[in-house]
Amino acid sequence: MYDVPTGGGKTLAFYYPLFYHWEPGNIDSECQKIILVISPLTALMDSQAKDLLDRGIPAKALHGDNSNYEDLLQVLIFVSPEKVLSSEFHEKVLRNSVFRTNCISVVIDEGHCIIEWGPDFRNDYDQLAKLCGRIPSTIPILVASATMPDDIRQSIQFKLRLGNDCVHVADTPYKNAQIRLIL
């Protein structure tokens, strides 16, 4: 769980694990790692994918009626909750051996929406626990938010069936904390 205010660098934390592996132009499988980012904000996904592409980092946003799965096994995949839970995405991406071997992280952005807005916001965002059962248990899941007080964080852990041993990194005003690492 990653709880950092808006403008605090959350998005950089999504990409950071890639830079241990990725080398521009190197097609060796050890350099072709994948991060899957689930976001309920389509405009933000499009903007982030474009920004990365402009910097030479392979990325793709997939949402709505966009069902182009060609070249989807890129470095960064931004996907809407509806798309990530669809049977088509499950068959073409989540069950793909390249994805299963090379995915190094799944990020759920705007995690507070799962609890605070739930099915009233995006019904499929309320169902993301299904995704946890569809990916290898060895892939770490990062839930990120700018607003995740303890009660919301605990509800997210329960809702996503993440267990009680999650690490929580926070730079928030909750309980007058500056930085907390809860193991």
Q: Using CA atoms, how far apart are residues 29 and 41, in angstroms rounded to an integer?
A: 31
pLDDT of 183 reads 36
Helix and strand totals (H; E) in the chain? 9, 8
- List all residues 6 or more positions away from 87 whose beta carbon is below 8 Å from its beta carbon: none
Q: Give the C-alpha separation, 133 to 128, whole Å.
A: 9
* Cβ(178)–Cβ(12) below 8 Å: no
Contact call for residues 111 and 131 (beta carbons, < 8 A)? no
Distances (CA, A) of 4 to 10, 31, 138, 146, 183: 6, 29, 25, 5, 17
Q: E-assigned strands of 80-163?
A: 103-108, 141-145
| pLDDT tens digits, 24-77 | 777 777 777 889 999 888 888 899 889 888 988 888 888 876 666 666 666 788
Model pLDDT for residues 127-169, shown as the tens digit of each residue = 888 888 888 888 888 888 887 888 888 888 888 888 777 776 7
**Predicted model pTM:** 0.83
Q: Which CATH superfamily is domain 2-21+28-182 in?
A: P-loop containing nucleotide triphosphate hydrolases (3.40.50.300)
Query: What is the pLDDT, as a whole number, of residue 71?
Result: 64
